[in-house]
């Protein structure tokens, strides 16, 4: 592949100097040379991102590009249109500056990978990187040179529809997978034709939208911004991400698009980010609606002054920056800094040397190889939540008949999930089709859709579903929620299985056969009510093009499940937000002090119950904890050690343990390391993920897994808002979930 891409670069005329990753000084010289020749209008033009309406190039867009009034176009993916846009920019505009062609390439392009939350459940950065690489190649073949991904918002509220696009609740997991994704999109040399610029979004705090309602207010103390929500973005800067996107959010009273603390103090002054920041869609004019700017001119002023370099979709920069400059409210340096940031990325991408795209020079789009990668990632993303009496895996040899039931069993669109603009449903292999292919003609497969959508309230087809289950050896139900129920602006206040799906499970259970429920969804759903009737539950997220073959492999034991939850599953929605890395509170609950609302006697006085941090009607435990997921085998952990157990701050500590496969089948296990810093200058989470490794073990095989903790790994922003590793006592756990109970202790000393 590498050789092919080098050949590609040569074929496309990438010159030795320009194509071979020109060094920073040379790029800066190019940027300054160009900047010196630009008029104010041309500078402002570079800061404008214009939507190609329905992917087309209107006369208006052509004229604007020709006049040098456009720096970037979004949503053009027809390669002829893209090439024509680039031709006009390069050959007909005065300075010949190429365009950034932006697109939401979120989880695949034509070949659709699992939604990012599903990818996170695989806990496999290598596969996430390969997936992003695959998507980059497919997109680049259409002329796309910039994706608005990865989304690295730490997301702790499944009501929020955009949790689907996230890597879940944990800053460490999100950081690792975000970096993997950036590497995949950008490759190791941004100037190669197979690289596309990535975008770390949405800076910052969008995942904490109040009440899980999209675009909601974000109130996060600075200490949590820095310790929880910012680390993935800092990791993205360190990984060389080319661009950032400002969040839609009002962060602590200042919308991100006008937030100087975020964009200037943190991103530029502290982190030295050299790329550019794009606003979100019309987020600059949204500042008027927020009540933060009086009009479009003031919105433009606030956004540029804060450090938002490019404006997506709205036109306040185009309409007002020249005037603000002339009035002396914005100075030349501020404008130039923004233009430099944009031009720098264009040079880094090698766009000046490579202005047209020949799809034939790229590897085949949606190839069998790409689909195989999608299948592998999907297989590892599937989480087995329950498996009573080991009803799974189904025995291929003895099974005679199977009922396949439900609205998500055979829907080539809904299995793809949110943000699949370019996804090709013709590539989708549905669970029903894959099961039929897997079992062949020897097994009778009885398919009953039972509900038109997951939201249907009718029960008329339930009798057919029950009949199919009665006459079969087992029933597999494909339930969940359609893709439209998650994603941007698709939050839900109630995250139960929609419609009459719970009744469908109950009805099918009455047939007396093993009931296996596979859930396809964009978020954790509150599935406790079906657990009594579902013998097994597999959580599949929205699995993408290869949903069927991956799910069939798990159902029939070709593969053992190995996905682990990247987000806590609540029992009821009222527990939200619920996440494993909570602070302890002063009155943490214990199981023996818990009282349930139904057990409280008449006229119990206030002092009759213990004062503990719980819900009288929902306890304090989630349904499933972060990091949880079952397998067809069992793993036993032993021999944990932390060495040295006492060390000076700065000396690395190694934590190791032995994991053994004590079951009957070979399987992967995701070994997880958690740490607690017992006393801090600010209170610390009860546990924090600090490392993980996916290992493959044969039956009876054991492996020692070790993790090294540097001072930096244990550092946090403390009371004085500086980042440090504080001396003191630590607990470390190694195991298969955030509930791991195998513990070793160590201590860090000041000298
Ligand atoms: C709005 C979304 O918030 C953002 O994530 C996306 O990249 C842009 N629209 C462009 O489609």
- The pLDDT of residue 591 is 85
- CA 716 from centre of chain: 23
Helix, strand or coil, per DSSP, at residue 690: strand
**Helices marked H in 454-613:** 462-470, 501-509, 547-555
Distance 344 CA to ligand 1 centre (A): 23
541 lines ligand 1 (CB under 6 A): no
Beta strands in 99-191 (DSSP E): 100-103, 146-147
Residue nearest to atom 11 of ligand 1 (CA): 104
- Closest-CA residue, ligand 1 atom 7, reads 148
Tens digits of per-residue pLDDT, 250-300?
999 999 999 999 999 999 999 999 999 999 999 999 999 999 999 999 999
| Alpha carbons 422 and 667: distance in angstroms, whole number | 34
Nearest Cα neighbor of 181 from 117, 126, 109 is 126
For a ligand 1 pocket test, name from 53, 54, 144, 148 the mutation site with the most ligand atoms within 8 angstroms of its C-beta.
148
Ligand 1 atom having least distance to the Cα of 75 = 11
- Between CA 654 and CA 677 the distance in angstroms is 16
Whole-number Å distance, alpha carbon 429 to ligand 1 midpoint, is: 28
What is the Cα–Cα distance from 450 to 456, expressed in whole angstroms? Answer: 9
Q: Which atom of ligand 1 is nearest to the CA of 102?
A: 10
What pLDDT score was predicted for residue 2?
Answer: 36
pLDDT at 196 over 90: yes
Choosing from 200, 312, 313 the residue with most ligand 1 atoms within 8 A of its CB, the one to mutate for a pocket test is 312
Q: Residue of the nearest CA to atom 9 in ligand 1?
A: 281
The rounded distance, in Å, linking the Cα atoms of 162 and 146 is 21
718: CB partners within 8 A, 6+ apart:
680, 681, 682, 724, 726
The reply to whether ligand 1 has any atom less than 6 angstroms from the CB of 488 is yes
Segment 364-415, tens digit of pLDDT = 999 999 999 999 999 999 999 999 999 999 998 999 999 999 999 999 999 9
Share of the chain above pLDDT 70, in %: 97
Ligand 1 atom nearest 201 alpha carbon:
5
| Beta carbon of 313 within 6 Å of any ligand 1 atom | no
Q: How far is the CA of 324 from the centre of ligand 1 (A)?
A: 27
Q: State residue 87's pLDDT score.
A: 98
343 alpha carbon – ligand 1 mean position (Å) = 22
Q: What is the Å distance from ligand 1's center to 281 Cα?
A: 6
How many A from CA of 223 to the centre of ligand 1?
27
For residue 72, the CA-to-ligand 1 centroid distance in Å is 15
Q: State residue 622's pLDDT score.
A: 98
User: What is the Å distance from ligand 1's center to 280 Cα?
Assistant: 6
Q: Is the pLDDT of residue 689 over 90?
A: yes
pLDDT of 19 over the 70 cut: no
For ligand 1, the distance from its centroid to the CA atom of residue 435, given in whole angstroms, is 36
Nearest to 594 by CA among 604, 607, 609, 579: 609
pLDDT at 659: 99
Q: Is 280 in the pocket of ligand 1 (CB under 6 A)?
A: yes
Give Cα 482 to chain centroid, integer Å.
Answer: 18
CA 151 to ligand 1: nearest atom? 5
User: pLDDT tier at 501 (50, 70, 90 boundaries)?
Assistant: very high
Least confident of 352-356, 502-506, 650-654, 661-665: 352-356
> What average pLDDT does range 459-485 have in this prediction?
98
Residue identifier of the C-alpha nearest atom 1 of ligand 1: 281
Distance of CA 425 to the CA centre of its chain: 22
The residue-averaged pLDDT of 564-591 equals 96
Nearest by Cα to 339 from 88, 72, 590: 72
Q: Whose CA is nearest to atom 3 of ligand 1?
A: 280
Residue 20 predicted with pLDDT over 60: no
pLDDT confidence bin for 21, thresholds 50/70/90: very low
43-76 pLDDT tens trace? 999 999 999 988 789 999 999 999 999 999 999 9
Q: What is the predicted pLDDT for the residue at 56?
A: 86
Among 11-15, 109-113, 126-130, 540-544, the least confident range: 11-15
Atom of ligand 1 nearest to the CA of 248: 3
- Looking at ligand 1, which residue's alpha carbon is closest to its atom 4? 280
Calculate mean pLDDT across residues 183-198: 96
Instruction: Tell me the average pLDDT of the chain.
Output: 95
Ligand 1 pocket member 104 (CB < 6 A):
yes
Q: Is 201 in the pocket of ligand 1 (CB under 6 A)?
A: yes
Please state the atom number of ligand 1 nearest to the C-alpha of residue 165: 5
Find residue 329's DSSP bridge partners.
none
Q: Over 90: is that where the pLDDT of 126 sits? A: yes
pLDDT value at residue 3: 36
CB 490 within 8 A of CB 419: no
Residue of 278, 132, 261, 122 whose CA lies nearest to 200:
278
Whether residue 281 has its Cβ less than 6 Å from ligand 1: yes
pLDDT per residue as tens digits for the range 659-678: 999 999 999 999 999 999 99
Q: What is the pLDDT of residue 678?
A: 98
pLDDT at residue number 607: 83
Instruction: Looking at the CA of residue 313, tell me the nearest atom of ligand 1.
Output: 10
CB 247 within 8 A of CB 202: yes
Do the beta carbons of residue 195 and residue 185 sit within 8 Å? Answer: yes
For a mutational test of ligand 1's pocket, the pick from 152, 206, 279, 280, i.e. the residue with the most ligand atoms closer than 8 A to its C-beta, is 280
Q: Mutate which of 53, 199, 488 to test ligand 1's pocket (most atoms within 8 Å of Cβ)?
A: 488
pLDDT above 70: residue 524? yes
d(CA 255, CA 259): 6
How far does the centroid of ligand 1 lie from the alpha carbon of residue 400, in Å? 48
- Tell me, using a 6 A CB cutoff, whether residue 148 lines ligand 1: yes
Res. 606 pLDDT band, cuts 50 70 90: confident
Active site residues: 280
Please tell me the distance between residue 103's alpha carbon and the centre of ligand 1 in angstroms.
Answer: 9
Q: Is 74 exposed, middle or buried (0-12, 13-18, 19+ CB in 10 A)?
A: buried
445 three-class SS: strand
Candidate of 53, 147, 185, 245 to mutate for ligand 1, largest count of ligand atoms within 8 Å of Cβ = 245
Q: Is the CB of 286 under 6 A from ligand 1?
A: no
Taking residues 566-571, report their average pLDDT: 98
| 420 Cα–ligand 1 center, Å | 13
């Amino acid at each position: 592949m590498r050789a092919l891409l080098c050949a590609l670069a040569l074929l496309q005329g990438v010159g030795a100097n320009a194509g071979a990753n020109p060094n920073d000084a040379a790029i800066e010289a190019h940027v300054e040379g160009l900047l010196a020749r630009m008029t104010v209008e041309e500078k402002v033009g570079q800061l404008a991102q214009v939507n190609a309406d329905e992917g087309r190039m209107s006369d208006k867009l052509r004229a604007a590009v020709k006049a040098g009034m456009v720096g970037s176009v979004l949503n053009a993916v027809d390669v002829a249109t893209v090439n024509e846009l680039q031709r006009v920019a390069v050959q007909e505009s005065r300075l010949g500056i190429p365009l950034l062609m932006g697109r939401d390439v979120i989880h695949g392009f034509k070949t659709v990978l699992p939604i990012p939350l599903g990818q996170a459940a695989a806990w496999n950065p290598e596969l996430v990187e390969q997936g992003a690489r695959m998507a980059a190649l497919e997109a680049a073949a259409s002329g796309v040179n910039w994706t608005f991904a990865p989304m690295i918002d730490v997301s702790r509220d499944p009501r929020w529809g955009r949790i689907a696009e996230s890597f879940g609740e944990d800053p460490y997991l999100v950081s690792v997978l975000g970096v993997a994704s950036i590497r995949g999109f950008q490759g190791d040399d941004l100037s190669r034709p197979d690289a596309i610029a990535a975008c770390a979004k949405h800076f910052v705090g969008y995942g904490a939208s109040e009440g899980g309602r999209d675009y909601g207010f974000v109130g996060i103390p600075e200490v949590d911004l820095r310790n929880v929500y910012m680390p993935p973005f800092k990791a993205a800067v360190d990984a060389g991400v080319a661009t950032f996107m400002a969040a839609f959010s009002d962060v602590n009273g200042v919308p991100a698009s006008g937030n100087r603390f975020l964009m200037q103090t943190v991103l530029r002054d502290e982190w030295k980010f050299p790329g550019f920041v794009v606003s979100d869609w019309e987020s600059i004019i949204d500042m008027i609606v927020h009540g933060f700017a009086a009009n479009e001119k003031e919105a433009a002023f606030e956004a540029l002054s804060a450090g938002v370099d490019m404006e997506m979709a709205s036109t306040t920069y185009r309409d007002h920056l020249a005037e603000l400059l002339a009035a002396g409210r914005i100075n030349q340096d501020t404008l130039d800094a923004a233009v430099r940031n944009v031009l720098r990325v264009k040079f880094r991408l090698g766009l000046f040397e490579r202005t047209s795209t020949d799809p034939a020079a790229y590897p085949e789009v949606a190839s069998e190889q790409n689909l195989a990668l999608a299948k592998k990632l999907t297989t590892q993303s599937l989480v087995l939540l329950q498996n009573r009496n080991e009803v799974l895996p189904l025995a291929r040899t003895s099974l005679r008949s199977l009922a396949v039931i439900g609205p998500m069993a055979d829907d080539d669109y809904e299995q793809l999930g949110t943000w699949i603009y370019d996804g090709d449903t013709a590539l989708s292999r549905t669970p029903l089709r894959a099961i039929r292919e897997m079992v062949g003609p020897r097994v009778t497969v009885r398919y009953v859709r039972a509900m038109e959508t997951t939201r249907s309230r009718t029960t008329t087809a339930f009798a057919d579903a029950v009949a199919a289950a009665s006459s079969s050896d087992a029933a597999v139900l494909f339930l969940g929620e359609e893709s439209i129920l998650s994603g941007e602006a698709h939050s839900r206040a109630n995250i139960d299985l929609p419609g009459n799906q719970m009744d469908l499970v109950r009805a099918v259970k009455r047939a007396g056969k093993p009931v296996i429920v596979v859930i396809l969804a964009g978020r954790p759903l509150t599935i406790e009510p079906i657990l009594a009737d579902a013998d097994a539950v597999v959580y599949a997220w929205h699995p993408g093009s290869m949903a069927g073959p991956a799910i069939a492999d798990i159902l029939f034991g070709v593969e053992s499940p190995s996905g682990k939850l990247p987000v806590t599953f609540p029992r009821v929605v009222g527990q939200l937000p619920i996440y494993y890395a909570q602070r302890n509170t002063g009155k943490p609950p214990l199981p023996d002090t818990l009282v349930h609302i139904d057990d409280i006697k008449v006229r119990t006085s206030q002092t009759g119950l213990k004062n503990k941090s719980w819900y009288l009607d929902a306890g304090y435990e989630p349904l499933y904890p972060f990091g949880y997921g079952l397998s067809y085998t069992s793993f036993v952990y032993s021999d944990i050690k932390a060495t040295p157990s006492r060390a000076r701050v700065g000396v690395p500590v190694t934590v190791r343990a032995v994991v053994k496969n004590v079951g009957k089948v070979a399987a992967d296990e995701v070994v997880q390391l958690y740490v607690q810093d017992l006393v801090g200058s600010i209170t610390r989470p009860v546990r924090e993920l600090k490392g993980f490794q996916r290992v493959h073990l044969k039956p009876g095989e054991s492996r020692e897994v070790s993790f090294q903790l540097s001072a930096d790994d244990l550092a946090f922003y403390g009371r004085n808002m500086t980042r440090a590793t504080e001396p003191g006592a630590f607990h470390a756990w190694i195991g298969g979930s955030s509930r791991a109970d195998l513990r070793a202790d160590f201590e860090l000393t000041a000298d």
